[in-house]
Amino acid sequence: MNRQATRDAKGTLLSVEQLSVTYAVRRGWLRAASDLVALKDVSFELRAGETLGIVGESGCGKSTLARAILQLVAPSQGAISWLGQPLHADSRDALRKLRAGMQIVFQDPLASLDPRMTVLEIVSEPLREFRPELTRAARARAVGAMLARVGLSAEVMERYPHEFSGGQCQRIGIARALVLEPRLLVCDEPVSALDVSVQAQIVNLLRRLQRELGLSMLFISHNLALVRHLSQRVLVLYLGRVMELAARDELFQAARHPYTQALLDAIPVPDPARARERATSPVIGEVPSPIDPPSGCVFHTRCTWAQARCTSEEPMLEVVGGEHHVACWRWREIAATRSESE
Amino acid sequence: MSALLGIHDLRVAFQSHSGPVPAVDGVDLEVEAGECVAVVGESGSGKSQLFHAVMGVLPAGGRASGSARLRGQELLGRPASELNRVRGAEIAMIFQDPMTSLTPHLTIGKQISEVLQRHRGLSAGAARARALELLERVHIGAAAQRLGQYPHELSGGMRQRAMVAMALACEPALLVADEPTTALDVTIQAQLLELFRELRRATKMALILITHDLGAVAGLADRVAVMYAGRIVELAPVEELFARPRHPYTSGLLGAIPRLDTPLERDLAAIPGQPPLHRSAAPGCAFVSRCARALARCASDDPMLEMAADGRRAVACHNPLAGAHCA
């Protein structure tokens, strides 16, 4: 880790500006390729030691965002900076350094581990690649220490992924991601494939690791309740656009975007009496195809507040107050109606 | 009066090279007409296999024994030709992935009409008109147009609605829904749960909701059966189960769900260890290794599901939580 990084510890780790990612897709072999805009004009900053939750449904671009930050897909527009330096996928050297600084944990714990490698080989692989000066014994010590941190005993080192449950595989995946002591951990739906009782273990582990290691995290999930548990700020995406960005408590207590409210209303209430009397009816319709997104505000086809302007003009992200941003033409009226009804 | 569906000592075992592996290990459950029972469990709990056995759709290598009676008629061990008269007409089932149950090369309209023609003897024209009504009833937009579409042309949520429409075609007395919302986006999941609530208000159909998501059933179920390692470990009316879980596993599951009102300073109350892949041959309670309330006898003496004196709730535990209110 360089000196610059340490000095910037309180500052911005990652900065994403006006990022757009477009994929060319063919809908039939005779038809010309059309553009699928997976992300459009996404901007945010991630501070050192902060966890930013990224929520949205299928097609919202949350996984594309993770891939773009990790330089696994090339942005079609916009810029990503890491510790104040713009990132370009064209410099192999810069990319290598960067890779050591940011790591990812995937959704499918078993599929993301090579079945032919032992746990020791899996977790020490990043060390072999990025810290070639380490001796075999030093690598094994580092792996042992990291396994202990994620709650696995050193005895597992000689075993293979298939011998472990989903939760344990996810712990191995986390150990592999953290063994290089990265500054940023990108978690792409890290617990969605796990059983509820095990999910909670991994969430608690991530919380503890973040505290102990001062990690920054991007926590990508479709589950808002989980995101609330792990994040300091939350970014809500819909069809590749930022709908709302706010500090956690602000978002959960005073969501301004109708889509954020719809996501909150969709969370089942684990309380029979309250769940029955809940009057809100779920948001209508489904997420439109990203190949052919609605005009104007992309959410207007499902929004009860939509009016003429929403169908023709795309709202920009504007400041609600402090760090709270929302992209909605009618957020002021919505906020006024809410405070009246309360 | 006897129950609509009576399951008695139902067992399911799968053949493996090392002998039979038990998936369901002696389940008793009665479902009354019009009632909604949620069957909740994690992977390996046997919740799906239990109802796959009832419906006669166990995969190859799976064997069921015991009894499952629909209005007194035994379903287990009946030949497929006889079962087909009951399935669809009296019991219908929908699955997590609608693509596995929809025929890819037939239009949605054709598939629903076929059910109506076969089970109800409707003419092709009448069946098509009824199919349209059914699609509208499950709130599929542009229903007339959907009739002529193939399953792959519909979104996941729409396919699941089409499955519900098909299941409703013969107005079954019982609908078994196996993780019907698991593969769907959260807003679509909420829509589908709302549809189930609406159908329950409008029809006298009984509903069995198989799910891993305790939170999702709170607003829908009348009773909840919690399964672990092939058995029901707790059975209770929904309000009582959520307010006063008695089995440590139920209480653990409730604590492990992140809620919008869980205090953030504290960690989630995780259950240590993993759910077992299947019931082991070891004596004692299957939950003992993960249980904070385990007593010495729990390791050797398998607790049976015992009905409380009021006949409303049952728990299989030597050291259940008291009836005190749990937050």
Q: Which residue has the higher pLDDT, A91 or B278?
A: B278
| Element (DSSP H or E) covering residue A67 | helix A62-69
Contact criterion met (CB < 8 Å) for B141 and A285: yes
Establish if A28 belongs to a structural domain.
yes
> Smallest Cβ distance to B42: which of A196, A226, A267?
A196
Q: Are B286 and B269 in contact (CB under 8 A)?
A: no
Number of domains in chain A: 1
Is A281 part of the contact surface with chain B (CB cutoff 8 Å)?
A: yes
Over range A2-10, report the average pLDDT.
45
In B196-215, the residues whose Cβ lies within 8 Å of chain A are 212-215
pLDDT of residue A1: 41
pLDDT of residue B141: 85
A2-11, A261-270, B315-324: least confident range = A2-11
Question: Residue B327's pLDDT band (boundaries 50, 70, 90)?
Answer: very low
> Smallest Cβ distance to B253: which of A197, A222, A252?
A197
Residues with Cβ within 8 Å of A196's Cβ and at least 6 positions away in sequence, in order, are: B42, B212, B213, B214, B253, B256, B257
pLDDT of residue B323: 63
In B269-288, the residues whose Cβ lies within 8 Å of chain A are 269-272, 274-275
Establish if A170 belongs to a structural domain.
no
Tokens of A215: 């990690």
Q: Which residue has the higher pLDDT, A11 or B129?
A: B129
A61-65, B98-102, B271-275, B291-295: least confident range = B98-102
Give pLDDT tens digits for A196-236. 889 999 999 999 999 999 999 999 999 899 999 999 999 99
Q: Where are the beta strands (DSSP E) in chain A?
A: 12-25, 34-47, 51-55, 77-82, 85-86, 102-105, 184-188, 216-221, 233-238, 241-247, 318-321, 324-326
Is A28 part of the contact surface with chain B (CB cutoff 8 Å)?
A: no
Q: Are B179 and B209 in contact (CB under 8 A)?
A: no
Which residue on chain B is closest to A224 by alpha carbon?
B260
Residues with Cβ within 8 Å of A80's Cβ and at least 6 positions away in sequence, in order, are: A14, A15, A16, A17, A19, A68, A69, A86, A87
Round to whole Å and give the CA distance between A294 and A296: 7
Which residue on chain A is closest to B218 by alpha carbon?
A272
Question: Residue B215's pLDDT band (boundaries 50, 70, 90)?
Answer: confident
> Smallest Cβ distance to B256: which of A199, A269, A276?
A199
Establish if A174 belongs to a structural domain.
no
How close is the nearest chain B Cα to the Cα of A263, in Å?
Answer: 6
Q: Are A139 and A128 in contact (CB under 8 A)?
A: yes
Is A224 part of the contact surface with chain B (CB cutoff 8 Å)?
A: yes
Is B216 part of the contact surface with chain A (CB cutoff 8 Å)?
A: yes
Tokens of A10: 């309180």
In B93-112, the residues whose Cβ lies within 8 Å of chain A are none
Question: Residue B85's pLDDT band (boundaries 50, 70, 90)?
Answer: confident
pLDDT of residue B1: 53
Per CB-CB distance under 8 Å, the chain A contacts of B268 are 200, 203-204, 229
Round to whole Å and give the CA distance between A191 and A199: 5
Tell me, what's the ipTM? Answer: 0.86
CATH of the domain at A187: 3.40.50.300
pLDDT of residue A90: 66
Is A168 part of the contact surface with chain B (CB cutoff 8 Å)?
A: yes
In B294-313, the residues whose Cβ lies within 8 Å of chain A are none
Contact criterion met (CB < 8 Å) for A271 and B274: no
How close is the nearest chain B Cα to the Cα of A224, in Å?
Answer: 8
Contact criterion met (CB < 8 Å) for A229 and B264: yes
Contact criterion met (CB < 8 Å) for A273 and B239: yes
Test the A interface: residue of B37, B223, B268, B326 with most A CBs within 10 Å? B268
Which residue on chain A is closest to B158 by alpha carbon?
A286
C-alpha distances in angstroms, A135 versus A56, A87, A176, B244, B262? 44, 31, 18, 56, 46
Phi/psi zone of residue B269: left (φ > 0), alpha (ψ -120 to 50 degrees), beta?
beta
Round to whole Å and give the CA distance between B207 and A113: 40
Whether residue B69 has pLDDT greater than 50: yes
Establish if A127 belongs to a structural domain.
no
Phi first, then psi, for residue A168 (nearest 5°) are: -70, -40
Question: Which range is most confident: A90-104, A155-169, B267-281?
Answer: A155-169
Establish if A108 belongs to a structural domain.
no
Which residue on chain B is closest to A228 by alpha carbon?
B260
Contact criterion met (CB < 8 Å) for B214 and A196: yes
Round to whole Å and give the CA distance between B26 and A113: 37
Residues with Cβ within 8 Å of B252's Cβ and at least 6 positions away in sequence, in order, are: A197, B269, B271, B290
How close is the nearest chain B Cα to the Cα of A285, in Å?
Answer: 8
Tokens of B109: 């309209």
Establish if A166 belongs to a structural domain.
no
A2-16, A173-187, B197-211: least confident range = A2-16
Establish if A49 belongs to a structural domain.
yes
Q: Which residue has the higher pLDDT, A108 or A8?
A: A108
Whether residue B53 has pLDDT greater than 80: yes
pLDDT of residue B83: 87
Is B239 part of the contact surface with chain A (CB cutoff 8 Å)?
A: yes
Phi first, then psi, for residue A17 (nearest 5°) are: -125, 120
Nearest to A67 by CA among A115, A113, A110, A107: A107
Over range B66-79, report the average pLDDT.
93
Point out which residues pair with A46 in neighbouring strands.
A14
Question: Residue A2's pLDDT band (boundaries 50, 70, 90)?
Answer: very low
Question: Mean pLDDT of all residues in chain A?
Answer: 90
Give pLDDT tens digits for B152-180. 998 888 999 999 999 999 899 999 999 99
Question: Residue A125's pLDDT band (boundaries 50, 70, 90)?
Answer: very high
How close is the nearest chain B Cα to the Cα of A164, in Å?
Answer: 10
Is A229 part of the contact surface with chain B (CB cutoff 8 Å)?
A: yes
Round to whole Å and give the CA distance between A150 and A285: 41
Round to whole Å and give the CA distance between A112 and A73: 19
Nearest to A180 by CA among A100, A125, A93: A100
pLDDT of residue B325: 44
> Smallest Cβ distance to A204: which of B253, B268, B274?
B268
Whether residue A5 has pLDDT greater than 50: no
Per CB-CB distance under 8 Å, the chain A contacts of B290 are 197
Which residue on chain B is closest to A59 by alpha carbon?
B185
Per CB-CB distance under 8 Å, the chain B contacts of A199 are 256
Nearest to A167 by CA among B206, B262, B43: B43
Contact criterion met (CB < 8 Å) for A270 and B254: yes
Test the B interface: residue of A197, A209, A248, A250 with most B CBs within 10 Å? A197
User: Containing domain of residue A65, as a range?
Assistant: 3-101+182-341
Is A97 part of the contact surface with chain B (CB cutoff 8 Å)?
A: no
Whether residue B326 has pLDDT greater than 50: no
Give pLDDT tens digits for A293-332. 999 999 999 999 999 999 999 999 999 999 999 999 999 9
Establish if A249 belongs to a structural domain.
yes
> Smallest Cβ distance to B271: which of A197, A229, A275?
A197
Over range A77-96, report the average pLDDT.
82
- Give me the percent of chain A exceeding a pLDDT of 90: 69
Whether residue B50 has pLDDT greater than 80: yes
pTM: 0.91
How close is the nearest chain B Cα to the Cα of A237, in Å?
Answer: 14
Is A151 part of the contact surface with chain B (CB cutoff 8 Å)?
A: no
